[in-house]
Chains A and B, each alone.
Chain A
Amino acid sequence: MIPVEEHVDIEALKRGDELAFKSLVEMFQDRVFHTCFGFLGSREEAEDAAQETFIEVLSAIKSFRQESSISTWIYRIAALTALQAIRKKRRKRQVALFFGTEGTDAALANANDPDEGSHPLLRLENKERADVLYKAMNRLPESQRVAFTLHKIEGLEHKEVAAIMNLTVSSVESLIHRGKGNLQQYLGNYYRKQ
């Protein structure tokens, strides 16, 4: 849930105040990281994307016109950064496939353990399920993926997702509905083959 009041000193950020930036990072790092993890499924990649997000925030803050809330803006950058990382991964895989150097599906096999601390057997089963889920989510069209991830994984309301994606609420609802339908189809096909 995006908080109604955000104690972010935007003017200080625009001046390049380090304390203001540190405060912003500490306020949003969990949400940004969690969002990136929702897209990428790997702790290492999520950390990289989260750092890229804040670097982009720092470089673009001077052009932030405050037409939306700062959290909406940051979520938007996080989603775009994560999508760029996914595209880059896909291109690398295509090159590796072309040269016959691709190994196992490392990108999605790296889906990190989502429930650390639970029973090892459950953890393993969930890791395998998480791998299957991320593979299916990777197949979604980007807009469906973004809407679905922000709503289902990040837990944002439809209107919050709409603000982030610059869409209407009904468009977002439609994307989430179609995304869910596609996921059910991909997963169904996968489990039928088992």
Chain B
Amino acid sequence: MDEKQVEREVQKTLDLLISTPAIKPRPFFYTRLKTRLQASANPTPVVVRLFHRRIALAVLGIVLLVAINAFSLLRLTSRTMETQEAQAIASFAKEYSISTYRY
């Protein structure tokens, strides 16, 4: 684009400022404003919000406890099973005089 074209484009863009017709709000602007004012005058009470927050924290705590217990139980169960399996192999080997060492 040569300099003259650039100047023309710049001017056309700046002319939008004066050529653009005035824009108005959508109808019932005051109704929406009034609704907003009423909503801000009757917010959710702080006590209720705090209560909800406490419930959320309590539930989170319970979920964590359950998760930790479940994890611990799972580990314990798998260890017990491994021990039982090792014992079974050992007694089988003893009965048939087989060595359980791995080479």
Contact = CB atoms under 8 A, between A and B. Distances in A.
Given A22-B30, A30-B25, A34-B23, A191 B10 contact: yes
Q: Is the interface of A mostly helix, strand, loop or mixed?
A: helix
A115 interface: yes
Contact of B13 (A58, A129, A192): A129
Interface stretch (B14-22, B80-88, B94-102): B14-22
Q: Is the interface of B mostly helix, strand, loop or mixed?
A: helix
Interface in B19-43: 20-26, 29-30, 32-33, 36-37, 40
A50 B14 CA distance: 25
Contact of A29 (B13, B20, B29, B36): B29
A132 B6 contact: no
A152 interface: yes
Contacts of B54: none
A47 interface: yes
Given A47-B32, A112-B23, 15 more contacts: A25-B33, A29-B29, A30-B22, A33-B23, A51-B32, A51-B33, A58-B37, A114-B20, A115-B21, A129-B13, A133-B17, A184-B10, A187-B13, A192-B6, A194-B1
Interface of B: 1, 5-7, 9-10, 12-14, 16-18, 20-26, 29-30, 32-33, 36-37, 40
